[in-house]
Chains A and B, each alone.
Chain A
Amino acid sequence: MTDIVEPTGDLLMEPSRPASSAGRGRWVFGALFVTGLVLLPVLSIVWIAFNPVENIWPHLLSTVLPRYVSNTLTLMVGVGIGTTVGGITTAWLVTMCRFPGKRFFEWALILPLAMPAYVVAYVYTDLLEYAGPVQSALRDLMGWKLKSDYWFPAIRSHGGAIVVLSLVLYPYVYMMARAAFLQQSVCVLEAGRVLGRSPWRCFWTIGLPLARPAVVAGVALAMMETLNDFGTIDFFGVHTLTAGVFDVWLNMGNAGGAAQIALVMLVFVIGLLWIERQSRRRQRFHQTTNRYQALPGYALRPLFKVGAVAMCAMPILLGFLLPALILLEYAFLNFEDSFSVKYFGYARNSLLLAGTSAFVAVMVGLFLAYAMRIGGGKVLNTAARLASVGYAVPGAVLAVGVLVPFARFDNGVDAIMRSTFDVSTGLLLSGTVFALVFAYVVRFLAVGMGGVEASLAKVTKNMDDAARTLGHGPWATLRRVHLPMIRSGILGGAVLVFVDTMKELPATLILRPFNFDTLATFVYQYASDERLAESALGALTIVAAGIVPVLMLSRAIGNARPGHASGGN
Chain B
Amino acid sequence: MNMQWKSSFAAAIVMTGMAAAAGTALAEEVNVYSYRQPFLIEPMFEEFTKETGIAVNVVFAKEGLVERLKQEGANSPADLLLTVDISRLAAIKTTGATQAVSSDVLNSAIPANLRDEDGHWFGLTTRARIIYASKDRVPEGTVTSYDDLTKPEWKGKVCTRSGSHVYNIALLASKIAHDGADKAKAWLAGVKENLARKPEGNDRAQVKAIKEGECDLALGNHYYMGAMLSNPEQKEWAESAYIIFPDQGGRGTHVNVSGIALTKAAPNKANAIKLMEFLAGEKAQEMYADLNNEYPVRPGVEWSPLLKSWGDFKTDELSLSAIAELAPKAQKLVDEVGYNE
**A interface residue numbers (CB < 8 A to B):** 59-60, 63-64, 67, 125, 130-131, 146-147, 156, 234-237, 239, 243, 246-255, 356, 359-360, 363, 367, 396, 399-400, 403-404, 406-408, 410-411, 414, 424, 426-434, 437, 506, 509-516, 521, 525-526, 528-530, 533
A interface secondary structure, majority = helix
Cβ contacts under 8 Å, B68 to chain A? 400, 403, 431, 510-511
Q: Provided the pairs A64-B338, A237-B340, A367-B1 are in contact, do residues A530 and B327 lie with their beta carbons within 8 angstroms?
A: no
B71-A403 in contact (CB<8A) = yes
Q: Smallest distance from the beta carbon of B276 to chain A beta carbons, Å? A: 18
In the assembled complex, B98 has its CB within 8 A of some CB on chain A = no
Known: A253-B94, A360-B8, A396-B64. 5 other contacts (CB 8 A): A63-B336, A131-B212, A400-B64, A434-B15, A529-B37
A509-B64 in contact (CB<8A) = yes
Give Cα A4 to B103, complex, Å. 76
Render B163-196 as a binary contact track against A, CB cut-off 8 A, 1 for contact. Answer: 0101001000000000000000000000000000
In the assembled complex, B201 has its CB within 8 A of some CB on chain A = yes
Cβ contacts under 8 Å, B208 to chain A? 131
13 pairs, A vs B, C-beta closer than 8 Å: A147-B214, A239-B340, A356-B8, A403-B68, A411-B73, A411-B74, A430-B71, A506-B64, A510-B67, A515-B57, A515-B58, A516-B59, A526-B37
Give Cα A433 to B8, complex, Å. 11
B59-A512 in contact (CB<8A) = yes
A404-B8 in contact (CB<8A) = no
B61-A130 in contact (CB<8A) = no
In the assembled complex, B213 has its CB within 8 A of some CB on chain A = yes
Cβ contacts under 8 Å, A403 to chain B? 64, 67-68, 71-72
| Complex interface residues of chain B between 29 and 60 (CB less than 8 A to chain A) | 31, 37-39, 57-60
Give Cα A512 to B78, complex, Å. 13
Cβ contacts under 8 Å, B233 to chain A? 533
Give Cα A530 to B165, complex, Å. 15
In the assembled complex, B306 has its CB within 8 A of some CB on chain A = no
Render B54-86 as a binary contact track against A, CB cut-off 8 A, 1 for contact. Answer: 000111111111011001111111000000000
Give Cα A512 to B38, complex, Å. 14
Shortest 10 CB-CB contacts between residues of A and residues of B: A434-B12, A509-B61, A237-B200, A514-B57, A510-B64, A407-B71, A251-B331, A63-B335, A131-B212, A252-B328
A239-B341 in contact (CB<8A) = yes
Chain A, Cβ-Cβ closest to B212: A131
Give Cα A236 to B57, complex, Å. 34
In the assembled complex, B298 has its CB within 8 A of some CB on chain A = no
Q: Smallest distance from the beta carbon of A556 to chain B beta carbons, Å? A: 20
B19-A513 in contact (CB<8A) = yes
A253-B328 in contact (CB<8A) = yes
A251-B87 in contact (CB<8A) = yes
Cβ contacts under 8 Å, A243 to chain B? 164, 340
Cβ contacts under 8 Å, A252 to chain B? 327-328, 331-332
Please count how many residues in chain B sit with their CB below 8 Å of the partner chain's CB atoms.
65
Give Cα A510 to B76, complex, Å. 14
**B interface residue numbers (CB < 8 A to A):** 1, 4, 8-9, 11-13, 15-16, 19-20, 31, 37-39, 57-65, 67-68, 71-77, 87, 91, 94, 162, 164, 166, 169, 198-202, 204-205, 208-209, 211-214, 233, 327-328, 330-332, 334-336, 338, 340-341
B interface secondary structure, majority = helix
Q: Provided the pairs A251-B166, A411-B75 are in contact, do residues A429 and B209 lie with their beta carbons within 8 angstroms?
A: no
Q: Provided the pairs A510-B64, A515-B58 are in contact, do residues A528 and B166 lie with their beta carbons within 8 angstroms?
A: no
Chain B, Cβ-Cβ closest to A71: B341
A250-B166 in contact (CB<8A) = yes
Cβ contacts under 8 Å, B12 to chain A? 429, 432-434
Give Cα A510 to B38, complex, Å. 14
Cβ contacts under 8 Å, B39 to chain A? 525-526
B63-A246 in contact (CB<8A) = yes
Partner pick for B72 among A251, A430, A432, CB 8 A cutoff: A430
Cβ contacts under 8 Å, A63 to chain B? 332, 335-336, 338
B63-A506 in contact (CB<8A) = yes
Q: Smallest distance from the beta carbon of B161 to chain A beta carbons, Å? A: 9
Chain A, Cβ-Cβ closest to B340: A239
Give Cα A59 to B333, complex, Å. 10
Partner pick for B205 among A251, A410, A530, CB 8 A cutoff: A530
Partner pick for B4 among A156, A250, A363, A396, CB 8 A cutoff: A363
Q: Provided the pairs A59-B335, A396-B63, A404-B71 are in contact, do residues A427 and B77 lie with their beta carbons within 8 angstroms?
A: yes
Cβ contacts under 8 Å, B328 to chain A? 251-254
Cβ contacts under 8 Å, A430 to chain B? 71-72
Chain A, Cβ-Cβ closest to B63: A396
B162-A234 in contact (CB<8A) = yes
Cβ contacts under 8 Å, A525 to chain B? 37-39, 60
Q: Smallest distance from the beta carbon of A356 to chain B beta carbons, Å? A: 7
A433-B77 in contact (CB<8A) = no
A67-B341 in contact (CB<8A) = yes
Chain B, Cβ-Cβ closest to A430: B72
Give Cα A400 to B239, complex, Å. 43
Cβ contacts under 8 Å, B72 to chain A? 403, 407, 410-411, 427, 430-431
Give Cα A450 to B338, complex, Å. 39
Chain A, Cβ-Cβ closest to B24: A426
Give Cα A356 to B15, complex, Å. 15
